[in-house]
Homo-oligomer: A and B are copies of this chain.
Amino acid sequence: MPDRPNLAELGLNPGKRTRLHRILFEHGQRNGTALFLPYDQGLEHGPRDFAPNPVSADPRYILRLALEGPFNGIAIQIGLAEKFYWEYAGEVPLLLKLNGKTEIPPDDAALSPLHASVEDAVRLGADAVGYTLYVGTPAAEQDFAQYRQVRSDAERLGMPLVVWAYPRGSAIEAKGGRDSFYAVDYAARTASELGADVVKVNFPHPEKTDAVKAPYDTPVTPEQAIRSVVGSAGRTLLLVSGGSHAGDEAMLTKAELSMAAGATGLIFGRNVWQRGHDESLRFVDRLAGVLAKYPSRPL
């Protein structure tokens, strides 16, 4: 049984605890783990991401996939939430993403502007909100200012806050890049220090040791790296994201290592819906199998 923090020991107010309980124990594997379906790529990368499986451009297709999974939640932006979620309202938890950006401008001073509010999420019946924090960006002042408002509203309204903790910008590129163990570990800790309830990170690459600070310049195993990242998140529940579509076995290995290390779950989008419907579900079924092996400790 992984050393994953328990809902009762997180200091959550009743609303946050209620909504996280719903996500973690009333959907998906119902065992304290989570498998999220993110679908914000239409804004983040543009419709080009839908080319491998054109039907994935239709939000209804994705919502049905979330139900079929069954997933613990679907992460979408305000527009899709307004126009499509009502048909499935309450059937799958909604994680409303509050900020986002296009891939068009350069990323040197990356900032993901806010386009929706925690109150929107309440109005839409969401069970969590998502915020992308670009850890290490030169635009940290604006990023923190947006984040401060979101964190405060989420606390006041009892809404779980999921932080996409992404090292980004010219400075991190000069210090070993965005997915080094140094960068991912720092990102997980940053989300924890700043009050995220859940943090989403990429799987760390401990083999990237160039230009990173000690002791990250000494290689460790992936097991050791992900265990450290989970520890850095502390009482902030950790989700590992799938990133761009890669090989299934590599993905399943990442999933297994993450869950064994104490992660709470996975958030896999393109690896799921950039393939045909049935193949998607077969892959999801294998992910669910991993989650089933790592239930939360009883209180």
Closest to A105 in B: B171
A157:B123 contact, CB within 8 angstroms: yes
Name the interface residues of A169-226: CB closer than 8 Å to any CB of B.
169, 171-172, 175, 182, 185-186, 189-196, 213-216
A89, CB-defined interface residue at 8 Å: yes
A194:B151 contact, CB within 8 angstroms: no
Given A140-B113, A158-B124, A42-B192 contact (CB < 8 Å): yes
CB distance from A222 to the nearest CB of B (A): 17
Q: When chains A and B are docked, how far (Å) is the Cα of A57 from the Cα of B214?
A: 16
**Contact residue range for chain A?**
35 or more
* Chain A residues at the B interface, C-beta cutoff of 8 Å: 7, 10-11, 13-22, 25-26, 40, 42-43, 46-48, 51, 57-59, 77-87, 89-91, 94, 99-102, 104-106, 111, 113-117, 119-120, 122-125, 135-138, 140-145, 147-148, 151-152, 155-158, 167, 169, 171-172, 175, 182, 185-186, 189-196, 213-216, 228, 231-232, 234-236
**Chain B residues within 8 Å of A22, by CB:** 22, 90
Contact check: which of B48, B119, B140 meets A101 at CB < 8 Å? Answer: B140
Q: When chains A and B are docked, how far (Å) is the Cα of A120 from the Cα of B14?
A: 10
16 pairs, CB–CB < 8 Å, chain A vs chain B: A11-B84, A15-B125, A16-B125, A26-B90, A43-B189, A51-B215, A58-B234, A78-B151, A80-B234, A82-B155, A84-B235, A105-B136, A105-B137, A113-B140, A113-B141, A115-B194
B47:A232 contact, CB within 8 angstroms: yes
CB distance from A295 to the nearest CB of B (A): 17
B13:A79 contact, CB within 8 angstroms: no
**Chain B residues within 8 Å of A16, by CB:** 125
Central interface residue in A26, A116, A143, A192, by most chain B CB within 10 Å: A192
Interface of A is mostly: helix
B215:A89 contact, CB within 8 angstroms: no
CB distance from A166 to the nearest CB of B (A): 12
Q: When chains A and B are docked, how far (Å) is the Cα of A108 from the Cα of B266?
A: 38
B43:A232 contact, CB within 8 angstroms: no
**Chain B residues within 8 Å of A171, by CB:** 104-106
Given A48-B182, A78-B194, A171-B106, A231-B58 contact (CB < 8 Å): yes
Central interface residue in A167, A190, A193, by most chain B CB within 10 Å: A193
Central interface residue in A90, A145, A191, A236, by most chain B CB within 10 Å: A90
B79:A119 contact, CB within 8 angstroms: no
B48:A152 contact, CB within 8 angstroms: no
Central interface residue in A13, A42, A89, by most chain B CB within 10 Å: A89
CB distance from A180 to the nearest CB of B (A): 11
Closest to A167 in B: B104
Given A90-B21, A119-B157, A124-B158, A100-B193 contact (CB < 8 Å): yes
